[in-house]
């Protein structure tokens, strides 16, 4: 099915500059190539439901679509950054690519059986204009068929409170560098007994998920945003208010696994999941 861009609302012509430039796009592609996202993509595929037409908003270079395209007849890729999708057809040759923003989807009404946003919507919330997040969700609902699913996968807020952890000496040095450079809030820890540290849950989560960006092209952007973004109750209410029905909230990516990958260990405090998948459908 083709659509006529001339029939899109006039406001769709007005947009801000893409969040990522060429250098950032290249850095992210290298990072994503090296990262193991099997759990994330497995969850998305598991909860697609009956699906003949799928669109991935914030598709990047097409890692998820390469997998989804093996079982879904028609796949589309949306991204606001042309440099992010320049290699997408290498990963998923059959994907249809549309360059636009999430709150101005240049896509047909009532068309897709499933819409996916994977670690993209937090950028709309953090960097978008006032009302842009709600408008993006409204646009997602618009392009879904009745009963179609929207899968929102993103960063979960770690919540208030502190934990005590142990980190290896080299990771302590990296934590110190992170705390000096981080600008979204004042990041800091205090020493505890026997080489342990006491640190806020949110600060630990941001450190463990952002340390890779230090001294890279992505450092500036990563140091001015957070990965403590979505709370379950507030997020569920928001998507419900746009006419989407919440089916399931699935937490995953346990913080203890992230600590272990850094040679660390949780000593005091309860573990938590730092990512979530929210499964919704259009009513």
In tens, the pLDDT along 144-189 reads: 999 999 999 999 999 999 999 999 999 999 999 999 999 999 999 9
Alpha-carbon span 206 to 204, nearest angstrom: 6
The average pLDDT across 121-139 equals 96
Three-state DSSP class for 273?
Answer: strand
pLDDT digits (tens, 9 = 90+) for 12-53: 334 568 888 888 888 888 888 777 778 999 999 999 999 999
On the question of pLDDT at 202 being above 80, the answer is yes
Closest CA to 123 of 104, 149, 99, 101: 101
Please, are residues 116 and 144 in contact by the beta-carbon 8 Å criterion?
Answer: no
pLDDT digits (tens, 9 = 90+) for 229-276: 999 999 999 999 999 999 999 999 999 999 999 999 999 999 999 999
Domains of the chain: residue spans and CATH: 5-155 (3.40.50.150)
Alpha-carbon span 157 to 226, nearest angstrom: 9
Alpha-carbon span 156 to 117, nearest angstrom: 14
Task: State residue 2's pLDDT score.
Answer: 38
Task: State residue 7's pLDDT score.
Answer: 38
Task: State residue 16's pLDDT score.
Answer: 66
pLDDT digits (tens, 9 = 90+) for 79-127: 999 999 999 999 999 999 999 999 999 999 999 999 999 999 999 999 9
Task: State residue 32's pLDDT score.
Answer: 82
Task: Compute CA distances 19 → 77, 86, 120, 276, whole Å.
Answer: 17, 16, 11, 23
* Strands (E) located in the chain: 53-57, 74-79, 96-99, 112-118, 144-155, 162-166, 189-191, 196-200, 244-254, 265-268, 273-282
Mean pLDDT of the chain: 93
Cβ neighbours for 120, distance < 8 A, ≥ 6 positions apart: 57, 58, 102, 154
Please, are residues 179 and 136 in contact by the beta-carbon 8 Å criterion?
Answer: no
């Amino acid at each position: 099915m083709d659509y006529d861009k001339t029939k899109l609302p006039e406001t769709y012509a007005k947009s801000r500059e893409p969040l990522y430039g060429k250098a950032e796009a290249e850095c992210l592609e290298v990072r994503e190539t090296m990262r193991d996202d099997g759990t994330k993509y497995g969850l998305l595929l598991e909860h697609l439901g009956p699906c003949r037409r799928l669109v991935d908003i914030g598709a990047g270079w097409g890692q998820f679509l390469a997998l989804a395209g093996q079982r879904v007849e028609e796949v589309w890729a949306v991204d606001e950054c042309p440099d992010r999708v320049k290699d997408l057809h290498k990963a998923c040759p059959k994907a249809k690519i549309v360059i636009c923003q999430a709150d101005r989807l240049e896509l047909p009404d009532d068309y897709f059986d499933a819409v996916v946003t994977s670690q993209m919507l937090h950028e709309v919330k953090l960097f978008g204009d006032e009302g842009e997040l709600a408008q993006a969700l409204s646009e997602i609902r618009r392009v879904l068929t009745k009963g179609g699913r929207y899968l929102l996968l993103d960063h979960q807020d770690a919540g208030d409170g502190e934990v005590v952890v142990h980190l290896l000496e080299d990771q302590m040095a990296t934590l110190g560098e992170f705390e000096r450079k981080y600008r979204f809030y004042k990041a800091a820890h205090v020493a505890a007994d026997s080489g342990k540290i006491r640190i806020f849950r949110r600060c630990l989560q941001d450190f463990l998920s952002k340390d890779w960006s230090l001294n890279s092209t992505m450092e500036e952007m990563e140091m001015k945003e957070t990965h403590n973004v979505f709370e379950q109750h507030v997020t569920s209410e928001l998507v419900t208010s746009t006419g989407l029905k919440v089916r399931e909230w699935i937490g995953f990516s346990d913080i203890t696994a992230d600590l272990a990958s850094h040679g660390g260990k949780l000593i005091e405090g309860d573990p938590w999941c730092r990512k979530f998948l929210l499964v919704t459908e259009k009513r």
